[in-house]
Chain A
Amino acid sequence: MAIRTEPFILNMGPQHPSTHGVFRLRATLDGEVVVDVEPVIGYLHRGIEKLAEGRTYTQNIPFTDRLDYLASMTNNLAYVLAVEKLAEIKIPERAEYLRVIMAEMMRIASHLMAVGFFLNDLGAMMTPVLYMWREREKLLDLFEMVCGQRLTYNYMRIGGVSHDIPEEFLPALKRFVAEMPGFIDEYDQLLAENEILLVRSKGVGVLPKDVAINSAASGPVLRASGVKWDIRRADPYSIYDRFDFDIPVGSAGDCYDRYWVRVQEMRQSVRILEQAIPQLPEGEICAEVPQLLRPSVGEVYGHIETPKGELGFYLVSDNSIAPYRFRIRPPTLINLTALKDMVIGWKVADLIITFGSIDVCLGEIDR
């Protein structure tokens, strides 16, 4: 005769050591097994989409920094590409290369943070975090050299970038790019064959391929499930078609594959940087754009591949200095809708690491 048990609701509230931000999760547990999950969001809502309707296109760029505050360059890039698509502005070559360099550096920094904190959720006591943050510090120093800030850059402008790189930037970046594969090998030595990591994350939190496609997931979450879809290849923007890089694709769609895809993407980003730095041409860094830009009436959807997924901006213009509608497609919110499928039937510990492997950033979810 089976013992009758009663499920209870555990509230992993907005303040929790590992929910990556102010995120509330009401989990119904039966013993240790997760029966149901109900996310509650909105604790970081700032009304960016409405605020942006009252500001000019250039003034909106600092707002896009604060969406996914851990990867600000790519947010800026997505918005600026959308506006340039709307207003049909041509960008100088040097600006294109600078944008690609900044975006790939940002991708490495964001993945370092994501992998580090995935391991922190697993319980590895901040050691991998600190090793990976040492590299991230080097990248943040380089960003500070270029645009003056370490986290919210406000670097891209409509028509190009805002500042040219100083002369000590390229030698430092070359040194970083030369050392980085060695450090990624060190992380592999620490983690890739670690039996405890393997047994905790292989086969856990599986997202099947059809569920991933149907729930519009994107980014490493989608690629780990076996779908080879990267916007840099599928719908190339900027000058990505000139570079030679692979797209790592997982097979099982579990937490280990998501971690593995991110580490491989770091290697590919280093590869892109190695190709882009020698090809950097001279020239202008920003096209001639009026200070108060008035695009013609129309609408546009511009999207790029950020470290977290596909970030898209849907802009509607009515020939005034401010956008009529400023809609953001947040990648992590849409990836998060698949959480329930991934997690039901697993235990509390798996809930936490599955959530960590999706790599959310609450600034994007709540806007």
Chain B
Amino acid sequence: MTLLEQFQLWLATMWPEWAAYVTPAIVGVVIVIAFALCMVMVFIYFERRLLGRFQIRLGPNRLGPEGIFQPIATAVKILLKEDIVPAKGDKVLHWLAPLVVFVPVLMIFAVVPFWEGAIFADLNVGIVYVVAISSVSAVGIYMAGWASNNKYALISAFRAVAQVVSYELPVVLSILGVVLMVGSLSLTQIVAAQTIPFILLQPLGFIIFFLGTVAEMNRSPFDLLEADSEIVAGFHTEYSGMKFAMFYLGEYCHALAYSCIITILFLSGWRGPLLPPFLWFLIKVVAVFFVIVWIRATLPRLRVDQLMSFAWKCLLPMAVINLFVVAAEVLWLPESLPWVMVVVNFAFAGALIMLWSKLFTLGGGRVEV
């Protein structure tokens, strides 16, 4: 019984049926979108300051005390810019692409449990919904690249499709590992079943899922869609004004959404000893984002064929083997000894990583022209 459903029951005693049905929905939508957008602002500020600290410099610290109004200034600046549409580009697609990229990411927050019962829609196929929705943004990126009438955008668009499609598979397979352990697809059930966080129970699944979602988010080291040094700005070269703001917010919203999903699936969501659950949730989400920014600050980016090889030849087989191992464990190991599973899984993860380091080779290279 989620909080919104309780609210609806209470309203039904006072108001007519249709009002009691609609009002909690609107309240829930407003809260969820407010949370998403506020946290995106916080993440933008946090990332810029953190990147500055990694690079032994200060981040933005002029606007407001320690620069906390910087994201607001960024938003205002973007809103005031002129909205340029390329003359020969496809106007309808150009207008539609930012929506197709941004809206599905917001829809992910509908199934994220913030604490016990605080979820907008308690779907019993929650995680399938998340996976399905998140792959719609790839279409949007391709629309943006095509409608810009720009060769740089086109190159980035066809890299985008390849990248997003190929990293879906390892992500889904590692999710299946978690689902096997829990026995249910619903996100509240997954959080409720994590007495030991699944990062300890399935380290390999966590690594695969983490790398896969970093690739889905188009962040370093897989950020060749918007590789500043090669294809100027990739698919959003020709965008300015509010449409660019949608892409920009969409990228950080993606980061926030996937951080939330990682927290729920592997770090046991809102559970924790002393502090209130909502605070634990926020701490874990920010910790995951810290690791994502840390990776961005350190590593150079991969080339597109190396990225595809990494997905298909390295992550996908490991994800399949991981799935089989987890299935075997769930079937044969007794329920009362979860620590056996931890040890077995860690040893297994280590062995697989070593094996793959020896076996995995990269083809490609120079093409005869």
Is there a contact between chains A and B in the complex with CB atoms less than 8 Å apart?
yes
B297 within 8 A of A: yes
Cβ B151 vs Cβ A10 within 8 A: yes
Q: Is B300's CB under 8 angstroms from A123's CB?
A: yes
The stretch among A63-71, A192-200, A260-268, A287-295 that forms the contact with chain B is A192-200
Within 8 Å by CB of B300, from A33, A35, A122, A347, lies A122
**Contact between A194 and B369, CB atoms less than 8 A apart:** no
Interface residues of B in 331-348 (CB under 8 A from A): none
* Given A17-B228, A18-B230, A194 and B300 contact (CB-CB distance below 8 Å): yes
Q: Which residues of B contact A204 (CB under 8 A)?
A: 365
Check A190/B220 contact, CB under 8 A, given A8-B151, A18-B229, A120-B229: no
List chain B residues, Cβ under 8 A from A199.
302, 306, 362
Do A203 and B365 touch (CB < 8 A)? yes
Set of chain A residues within 8 Å of B298, measured between Cβ atoms = 124, 127, 190
With beta carbons under 8 angstroms apart, the residue of B57, B229, B299, B369 that contacts A17 is B229
Inter-subunit contact B232/A17 (CB<8 Å): yes
Nearest chain B CB to A313's CB is how many angstroms away? 34
Contact of A200 with B303 at beta-carbon distance under 8 Å, contacts A125-B297, A131-B56, A345-B367 already known: yes
Please determine whether B297 and A352 come into contact, CB atoms closer than 8 angstroms. Answer: no
The closest CB in chain B to the CB of A348 belongs to B230
Does B182 sit within 8 A of A, measured CB to CB?
A: no
Contact residues in A for B367 (Cβ distance below 8 Å): 33, 345-346
The reply to whether A16 and B227 form a contact with Cβ atoms under 8 Å apart is no
Measured CB to CB, the nearest residue on chain B to A344 is B369
Taken together as a complex, chains A and B put the C-alpha atoms of A125 and B221 apart, in Å, by 10
**Is A347 a contact of B229 with CB atoms below 8 Å?**
no
Enumerate chain A residues within 8 angstroms of B220, measured Cβ to Cβ. 123, 125
Q: Does A170 have its Cβ within 8 Å of any Cβ on chain B?
A: no
Select from chain B the residue with minimum beta-carbon distance to A129: B55
B250-271: which have CB < 8 Å to A?
none
Chain B CB within 8 A of A273 CB: no
Q: Which residues of A contact B224 (CB under 8 A)?
A: 123, 349
Contact of A350 among B51, B303, B362 (CB under 8 A): B303
Per-position 1/0 for A1-29, Cβ under 8 A of B:
00000001010000011100000000001
Residues of the B chain whose Cβ atoms lie less than 8 Å from the Cβ of A35: 369
Which one of B51, B296, B299, B303 contacts A347 once the chains associate, using CB atoms below 8 Å? B303
Cβ–Cβ < 8 Å partners of B56 in chain A: 130-131, 134
Task: Give the shortest distance, in Å, between A192 (CB) and chain B (any CB).
Answer: 13
Q: Say yes or no: B300 contacts A126, CB within 8 Å.
A: no
* Majority secondary structure of chain A interface residues (helix, strand, loop or mixed): mixed
Complex contact B299–A349 (CB within 8 A) = no
**Does residue B366 face the partner (Cβ distance < 8 Å to A)?**
yes
Residues of B within 8 A of A134 (CB): 56
CB interface residues, A 309-353, toward B, < 8 Å: 344-350, 352
For residue A365, CB closer than 8 A to chain B, the reply is no
Closest to B357 in A: A195
**What separation, in Å, do the CA atoms of A32 and B296 have in the docked complex?**
25
Q: Chain A residue with minimal CB distance to B306?
A: A199
Contacts of B229 in A (CB 8 A): 17-18, 120-123, 352
Nearest chain A CB to B305 CB, angstrom units: 7
B368 CB within 8 Å of chain A: yes
Please determine whether B221 and A123 come into contact, CB atoms closer than 8 angstroms. Answer: yes
- Knowing A196-B299, A199-B362, A345-B367 are in contact, say whether A125-B51 is a contact too (CB < 8 A): yes
Cα of A348 to Cα of B305 in the assembled complex, Å? 11
A221 touches B (CB below 8 Å): no
Q: Is A119 interfacial (CB-CB < 8 Å)? A: yes
Contacts of A190 in B (CB 8 A): 298
List A73-132 residues whose CB lies under 8 Å from chain B: 119-127, 130-131
Size class of A's contact patch? 35 or more
| In the complex, chain B residues whose CB is within 8 Å of the CB of A8 | 151
Q: In whole angstroms, how far apart are the Cα atoms of A122 and B301 in the complex? A: 6
- Distance of A107 from chain B, by nearest CB (Å): 24
Closest A residue to B233 by CB, please name it: A17
Q: Which residues of B contact A29 (CB under 8 A)?
A: 155
Contact assessment for B230 and A130 in the assembled complex, using a CB-CB cutoff below 8 Å: no
Query: How far is the CB of B165 from the nearest CB of chain A, in Å?
Result: 17
**Bound: A344/B366 CA distance, A:** 8
Q: Is there contact, CB below 8 Å, between A200 and B302?
A: yes
Smallest CB–CB gap between B297 and chain A, Å? 5
The distance from the CB of A310 to the nearest CB of chain B, in whole angstroms, is 28
What string of 1s and 0s marks CB contacts (under 8 Å) between B282-297 and chain A? 0000000000000011
How far in angstroms is the closest Cβ of chain B from A133? 10
A34 to B155, CA, bound (A): 13
Q: Chain B: which residue is nearest A124 at the CB level?
A: B300
Given contacts A125-B296, A130-B56, contact A196 B305 (CB under 8 A): no
Which residues of A lie under 8 Å from residue B155 when comparing CB positions? 10, 29, 32, 348
Mask, B177-192, CB within 8 Å of A = 1, is 0000000000000000
Complex Cα distance A253/B333, Å? Answer: 55
Distance in Å: Cβ of A35 to nearest Cβ of chain B: 5
Judge whether B54 is part of the interface by a CB distance below 8 angstroms: yes
B51-72 contacts to A (CB < 8 Å): 51, 54-57
Q: What CA separation (Å) do A121 and B301 show in the bound complex?
A: 9
Q: Determine whether B325 belongs to the interface, using a CB cutoff of 8 Å to chain A.
A: no
Q: Closest Cβ of chain A: how far from B154's Cβ, in Å?
A: 9
- Asked if B152 is an interface residue, CB under 8 A from chain A, the answer is yes
Q: Is B37 an interface residue (CB 8 A)?
A: no
B238 at the interface (CB under 8 A from A): no
Q: Which of A132-153 contact B (CB under 8 A)?
A: 134
Complex: how many Å from CA A126 to CA B300? 10
Contact status A196-B230, CB under 8 Å: no
List residues of chain A with CB within 8 A of the CB of B36: none
Bound CA span A347–B55, Å = 30
Quick one: closest B residue to A19, CB to CB? B229
Q: Can you list 8 A-B contacts (CB < 8 A)?
A: A8-B151, A122-B300, A199-B362, A204-B365, A344-B369, A347-B303, A348-B155, A349-B224
Those 7 A-B pairs whose CB atoms lie nearest each other, nearest first? A123-B301, A18-B229, A122-B300, A124-B300, A345-B366, A130-B55, A123-B300
Could you list 20 further interchain pairs (A-B, Cβ under 8 angstroms) beyond the known A125-B51, A345-B369? A18-B228, A18-B230, A32-B155, A34-B369, A119-B300, A122-B300, A123-B224, A127-B54, A130-B57, A134-B56, A196-B299, A196-B300, A199-B302, A199-B306, A200-B300, A345-B367, A345-B368, A346-B367, A347-B304, A348-B231
